[in-house]
Amino acid sequence: MIHEAYRAAFAGKKITVMGLGLLGRGIGDVQFLAECGAELIVTDLKTEEQLAESVAKLAGFKNIELRLGEHRLEDFEGRDMILKAAGVPLDSPFILHAEDKGIRVAMSAELFAELSGIPIIAVTGTRGKSTTAYLIHHVLQEATEGGVVLLGGNVRGVSNLQLLKEVQEDAVMVMELDSWQLQGFGESKRSPNIAVFTTFLDDHLNYYKDDRASYFHDKANIFRYQHASDTFVTTPDVLKLAQAHAKEHGYQLDQDVVLADASTLPDDVMVPLLGEHNRMNAALAYEALRAVGLEHEEIAAHIASFKGVPGRLERLGVTKENVLIYNDNNATTPDATIAALRALGDESRRDIVLILGGADKKLDTKELFATIEKFVKVAVWLPGTGTDAHADYRAAASEVRHLTVQSLDEAVDVALREASSGDIMVLSPAFASFGLFVNEYDRNDQFVALVGKHLSA
């Protein structure tokens, strides 16, 4: 049910939604605004045919005008608000035109924070943000015994505006926020009550045009506008960057700053996830939960029962031939795949069969290849610009067998054929999914389905 306050905020308002997409978040946001009585123009560069599944879900609304396959400048003037999807280019002429006209440009995660008024615990970082956010959410759910603990932001299929329907007076929201969604917080000069910043590594530099400072500038919105009563949980490395950013842009870090890394997590906290990086994620989550007011004993107990996040070193099972399979689909950077190989690998055995490859992000791969040489016996490469760009590495003398395939189906078949009893097979791409897949979720779902046929009951 939509609260009347939300209906009043949008009824009769002229809103252009830029980006409908296929993942469910944009669809849910559009449906919510339409239910509130807004007059909507929904525009997306994808065609109606490409967005057929999403378009079908909007068929019953009379107050939605679709503008698909293009953007038109006139749809970004004479409006009360532009709702921008994540990933819209920083220099979008349509957004710049709306801003020149004095029109508010908003994003759904920040709109939720503004309209709900409930406490927000948010997590960002190049790596580790999903696991940390899901872990915080899990512990809060278990500790509050039926309290309303929401999970949103960069969560597959979850519309932030639809979550407004679930808000109650004592509710709390845990948000996973990427750099794009944090643009919305920056535009409204708002930061969450508890901000967690896990890591800052090279990624999305194609979007930020190789400007690392611009990437951090968006990330910094998670802590930049916090008040003295708020809490910022991060690592020593990220804090140095935050302090430099604050000095450059003329603001103070007046909030409570709590530092954490794998060494600060109490020894009696059992982390049921592989890898030192996950112990660091748990340490950050632990400090955020302490800031909420939870006691050590209940945090430790509920961390121990955490099952992990799909697509992040997710143990899928064992085949009839005794090959252990992991799904690390969301490892879309070299750093993420390095962490996976270190968590799974043993130099003395070299028993990993790795599926990787895809679209190039122009990131440094030297350490990735050095790590592959330590732990991997067979590397199966999916097609893509990143795979093509590293043909010289595959051709060089190596103890690793490098095989190239044309599809994920073929990759799974080849990997299983190359694996021996007791080996580990893992999808940890290190590259983006563009080209071969609709998106990374499509790659994830295909892999899980293909592997499922081979798992023992």
User: Tens digit of pLDDT for each residue in 294-348?
Assistant: 999 999 999 999 999 999 999 999 999 999 999 999 999 999 999 999 999 998 8
* Domain boundary, last residue among 106, 136, 163: 106
Last residue of a domain, one of 248, 283, 303: 303
Domain identity same for 368 and 415: yes
| Residue 343 sits in the same domain as residue 443 | yes
Same domain, 422 and 298: no
pLDDT of residue 133: 98
**% of residues, the chain, pLDDT over 90:** 89
Quick one: 177 and 89 in the same domain?
no
CA-closest candidate to residue 443, choices 421, 403, 412, 418: 412
Whether 282 and 191 map to the same domain: the answer is yes
Q: Going along 57-158, which residue ranges are E strands? A: 64-68, 81-84, 104-106, 120-124, 149-153
CATH assignment of the domain containing 427: 3.90.190.20
Task: Return the structure tokens found at 364.
Answer: 């440094």
Whole-number Å distance between alpha carbons of 336 and 225: 29
The series of mean pLDDT values per 10 residues for the chain, 457 residues long, is 86 96 88 97 94 92 96 97 93 96 96 96 96 97 91 93 94 96 96 98 85 96 98 98 98 97 95 94 98 97 95 95 96 95 92 96 94 97 96 90 97 97 97 89 96 89
Question: Quick check: 406 and 435 in contact, CB under 8 A?
Answer: no
42: containing domain:
12-106
Shared domain for 401 and 373, answered yes or no, is yes
**For residue 309, is it within any domain?**
no
Helix axes 334-344, 276-292, angle to 10 degrees: 100
User: What is the pLDDT at residue 111?
Assistant: 96
CB-side neighbour CA atoms (13 Å) of 180: 15
**Phi, psi (rounded to 5 degrees) for 279:** -70, -35
Q: Is residue 6 part of a domain?
A: no
* 179 plus 42 within the same structural domain: no
Give the span between the Cα atoms of 442 and 388, in whole angstroms: 22
Residue 3 within any structural domain of the chain: no
b/e 229-254 (16+ beta carbons within 10 angstroms → b): ebbbbbbeebbebbeebbeeeeeebe
**Rounded-to-integer distance, Cα 317 and Cα 456, Å:** 8
List all residues 6 or more positions away from 326 whose beta carbon is below 8 Å from its beta carbon.
Answer: 313, 314, 315, 316, 340, 344, 424, 425, 426, 427, 428
DSSP run (H or E) holding 174: strand 172-176
Model pLDDT, residue 273? 94
Does residue 345 form part of some domain? yes
CA separation for the pair 116, 26 (Å, rounded): 19
Give the per-residue pLDDT at 4.
86
360 within domain boundaries: yes
CA–CA distance, 80 with 61 (Å, rounded to integer): 20
- Please report whether residue 5 resides in a domain: no
Residues 328 and 428 reside in one and the same domain: yes
* CATH number of the domain to which 218 belongs: 3.40.1190.10
Q: Among 256, 281, 303, which residue terminates a domain?
A: 303
For the chain, the domain total comes to 3
Do 284 and 403 lie in one domain? The reply is no
Residue 219 lies in a domain: yes
235 and 87 assigned to the same domain: no
Residues contacting 309, CB < 8 A, separation 6+: 130, 131, 134
**Does 319 share its domain with 421?**
yes
Question: What's the rounded Cα separation, in Å, for the pair 165 and 28?
Answer: 12
Half-sphere exposure (Cβ direction) of 97: Cα atoms closer than 13 Å: 13
Q: For the chain, what percentages of helix, strand and coil (3-state, to nearest 5) are there?
A: 40, 20, 40
What CA–CA distance (Å, rounded) separates 407 from 163? 37
Residue the block writes with tokens 């920083």: 90
Q: Is 380 within a domain? A: yes
Q: Please, what sign has the CA dihedral across residues 263, 290, 200, 123?
A: positive
Q: Report how far residue 246's alpha carbon sits from residue 238's, in angstroms, rounded to the nearest whole number.
A: 12
Q: What is the DSSP letter of 8?
A: H
Say which CATH number the domain at 78 has: 3.40.50.720
Same structural domain for residues 122 and 69?
A: no
